[in-house]
């Protein structure tokens, strides 16, 4: 993991983080009142954003990271370089970066396998005053994936 300042990010990393921040207001979060935005960076540098969508049956909620993956999949985009994630509370800014939950880490690991790379993960506080760059393998060591099941995902 590496801490960086916003102005030290590449242009593409800044664009992805800004796009993730832009969709925060679209969060459907009547239960947690927590806003999360995520933006995938595709292999060909397209940006695909998603935000959290909560549900009264809490287990049916969709996190921002998975919302972005599902949106990209609907667009037939499955190869990625990275993802940027930012969050805030309804009436507070985060003081530490917000990492993906366990389910999202598993999904991000799967798309890293489809992409054939260790997905870069950019995490930022609400004010972007703390930014951490890491990878999905660092966030999910000893991950379980398609190869463990003998599945060839090459055709996807």
CA 139 to chain centre: 12
Nearest Cα to 85, choosing from 99, 71, 66, 68?
Answer: 99
Q: Are 35 and 25 in contact (CB under 8 A)?
A: yes
Q: What are the phi and psi torsion angles at 61 (to 5°)?
A: -65, 150
With 0-12 / 13-18 / 19 or more C-beta atoms within 10 angstroms meaning exposed / middle / buried, residue 141 is exposed
Active site residue 21: no
Per annotation, catalytic residue among 65, 90, 96, 138 = 65
Known catalytic residues are: 65
């Amino acid at each position: 993991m590496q801490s960086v300042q916003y102005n030290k990010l590449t242009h593409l990393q800044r664009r992805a983080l800004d796009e993730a921040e832009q969709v925060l207001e679209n969060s459907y979060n009547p239960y947690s009142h927590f806003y999360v935005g995520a933006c995938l960076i595709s292999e060909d540098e397209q940006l695909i954003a998603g935000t959290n969508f909560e549900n009264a049956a809490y287990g049916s909620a969709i996190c921002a990271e998975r919302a972005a993956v599902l949106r990209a999949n609907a667009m037939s985009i499955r190869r990625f370089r990275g993802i940027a994630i930012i969050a805030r509370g309804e009436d507070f800014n985060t003081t530490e970066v917000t990492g993906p939950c366990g389910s999202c880490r598993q999904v991000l690991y799967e798309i890293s396998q489809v992409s054939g790379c260790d997905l870069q993960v950019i995490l930022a506080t609400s004010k972007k005053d703390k930014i951490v760059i890491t990878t999905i393998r660092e966030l999910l060591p000893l991950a379980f994936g398609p190869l463990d099941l003998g599945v060839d995902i090459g055709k996807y």
